[in-house]
Each structure stands twice: as structure tokens, then as C-alpha cells.
Amino acid sequence: MPSSPSPFLTALAVLLGGGLLSSLMSALLGRSLVRLAQARGVSSQATIGSALLASVAPLGWVVSATMAWQILPTSAAADRIAFSLAKLVLMVLLVRLANRICRGLLQRAAARSDDPALSGMIQAVIPLQRALVWCLGAVLYLQNIGVQMAAIWALLSAGGIGAGLALKEPVSEFFEYITILLDKPFQNGQLIQVGEVMATVERVGVRSTRLRSVNGEAIVMSNSALTSAVVSNYGDMKERRLLYRLGLTYDTSHEQLANLPPLLRSIVDRQPDARFDRAHFVAFSSSSLDFELAYFVPSNDFKRALDVQQRINLEIVQTFAAQGLQFAFPTQTIELRSPQAVA
């Protein structure tokens, strides 16, 4: 009678046969997927399909190795060690597969989003999603190999409380980051004012926001400080409102005082980049008769507003000199608020 084949040869045949078959299936299905994607005119096929194909060959080799091991004459202790290792490898492969699928879906959602802030938020969530999937896979693996989970759950609960206290501030800053991305009080490149700080937004980070002040220095401000403060956003302004207070001496005649508002309006109207708002005699100061002049510059560019202000200032000086009007402690301020916010 012919002798039966050696179990080692049988196990080797099962290992090579199953592994090579899974590799061949992965290659054939991959080509089919590429052809289908080209036929539909897309750069890549569904994320789930490509992730599954990338895992077919490794999973096939692990299953083949497990089946081959069962053929070999081994002890119960060796079987437990081998099956535990096989489960560990399977867990790692399945977790990587789940992470690839989730990451691909999130990236596709971010690419399809027309909102840069929402796209950035989705990209920021990917590391958190990866960590959660790995934690879930580790817990399922430990439970599958027979580890008593009661002690582990108690340890995780205690560690979670400690980690929560230690990571309270970073977690809070992360949720403030999400709030900024969703609420969008400002965006990169916009000029904002927070308290005494006036700066341009360079980058909104997970923990802090980087600003560039008008003086040139870099300012790093925590997200919680931004969300809890009053932020003036000049980037959303459609036009700037400039407000003047001009003081004239008390020897100015009634006729000159009455003609001053129309005179100021004519000066502003001659500027193509300015829109007149109002001019009024507003106060009797201790040493001056005060007028207020307000007009709008249809731009959120601060330098352009200053150029318009300078031209009007020079013409006011020239006109007052021609009319014989004398300044008395003139003061002026510029309001950088949007016109909607001004009564």
C-alpha cells in the first residue's frame, strides 16, 4: 500500500496553495476594478472595494497558515499560542482595513465639500477615528482570547478619569477648534481685532490660532480665548466708516458755521472713492465749536481708506485756509466698524 503523505508536506501544500490562490484572486479582482473605474471615467473605484482588495491576500495567507497548522501534530499549548498569534494578525489586518475604509470615506467627503472649514474639520477628525478603531479592535481581541475584561474595564475607567483630568484643556481646545470651524467667525487671511490685538489670521490650529499683527510679529492665541472674546472681523466689511470731529474757533461767524456742512459734503463728494454720510454742528467745547464729519469708503482695505482720508484732509486744510476758517484743537477718530453696526 502506498504510504500516506507526510503531514508537513500536506501543511506546506495547504499554506502555499491558499496563499497563492488569495494573491491571484486579489490581482485579478484588482485589474477588474481598474478597468471598471476607467470605463466609468473616474480616477479610482469605491474606497470600500479598493480597501477590501488590498486585504484579500494578507487575510488569505493568515487563514491558510491557520489551516496548515491544524494539520501538523502539535500540542495543545502550541495550538493556543499559534491561534492567539493568528487572531492577533487577523485583528491587525481587520483594524487596518476598517481604518482605510473610514479614512477613504472621510477624505472623499472632505474633497467633495465646497466649504474649506468643513473640509479641514473632517481632516482633523481622521486621527481621532483611527485611534478609536484601534482601541475597539484591541478590546475585542483581548475578549476573544479569554482575558477577563472586568479588571481591564475597571483599569480603563480609572485611567479614563485620570486622562480626562490631564487632557481637559487639550480636549476643550479641540472642541473650541470645532466651534470655530463650524461657526466661522473668521477665516484665514482676514483682519480681526481681539481686545487690543489687531492682526491677520494665518492658520486655525487644533489647539491655537496663529495671527500676524499689523506690526509684523506672530501672535499665538488659544482657541478658547478667541471663542470667549469679542472678535471684530474687518474682513467681512463691505465698506469702512470714517468719523471726524473738527473744532473751529469761537470767532467763526454764524454764516460760516451754517455753510460748513455743505462745504464738507462737497469736499467728500469730489472724491470718487468716498460716499458722504453726514456733517453736523454737534457740540460747544471749552475752546472750540465742534463739527462731526462721517463718510464711507467702499473697501475693507485699511490702506486704501487711509489714502482717501489723506486726500480729504488735505482738501479740508486747503479749503478752510481759502475760507478763512481757523482750527481749534481739531481731533479725529476712525471707526473701523461696519456701517450696519452704526446707528
Same domain, 56 and 139: yes
**What is the residue range of 12's domain?**
7-170
The domain that holds 220 is classified in CATH as: 2.30.30.60
Domain annotation covers residue 179: no
Q: Which residues, 6 or more positions from 297, have their beta carbon under 8 angstroms from its beta carbon?
A: 239, 240, 242, 273, 274, 275, 304, 305, 308, 309
Domain annotation covers residue 2: no
pLDDT in tens, the chain (343 residues): 455 567 777 767 777 777 777 777 777 776 766 666 666 655 544 555 666 666 777 777 777 777 777 777 777 777 677 777 877 788 887 888 787 877 777 777 767 766 665 666 666 677 777 877 887 777 777 777 776 666 666 666 666 666 555 556 666 777 777 777 777 788 888 888 888 888 888 888 777 888 988 788 888 888 888 888 888 887 777 788 888 888 999 989 999 999 999 999 999 999 988 999 999 999 998 888 999 999 999 887 778 888 999 999 999 999 998 888 888 864 444 443 444 443 3
Domain annotation covers residue 1: no
Same domain, 220 and 258: no
* CB half-sphere exposure, 222, CA atoms < 13 A: 10
* Amino acid identity at 256: Q
Number of domains in the chain: 3
The label of the residue with cell 481749534 reads: 328
Domain annotation covers residue 51: yes
Same domain, 267 and 206: no
Same domain, 29 and 162: yes
How do 218-222 and 208-213 pair as beta strands? antiparallel
Same domain, 18 and 150: yes
Same domain, 88 and 117: yes
The domain that holds 280 is classified in CATH as: 3.30.70.100
Domain annotation covers residue 53: yes
Same domain, 61 and 93: yes
Same domain, 87 and 152: yes
The label of the residue with cell 469736499 reads: 267
Domain annotation covers residue 265: yes
Q: How far is CA 228 from CA 174, 190, 194, 222, 231, in A?
A: 14, 19, 10, 10, 9
Q: What backbone torsions phi and psi does residue 90 show, to the nearest 5 degrees?
A: -60, -40
Q: Which residues, 6 or more positions from 92, have their beta carbon under 8 angstroms from its beta carbon?
A: 137
Same domain, 245 and 335: yes
Same domain, 89 and 224: no
Domain annotation covers residue 180: no
Same domain, 27 and 161: yes
Same domain, 128 and 108: yes
Bridge-partner residues for 291, per DSSP? 246, 281
d(CA 91, CA 15): 20
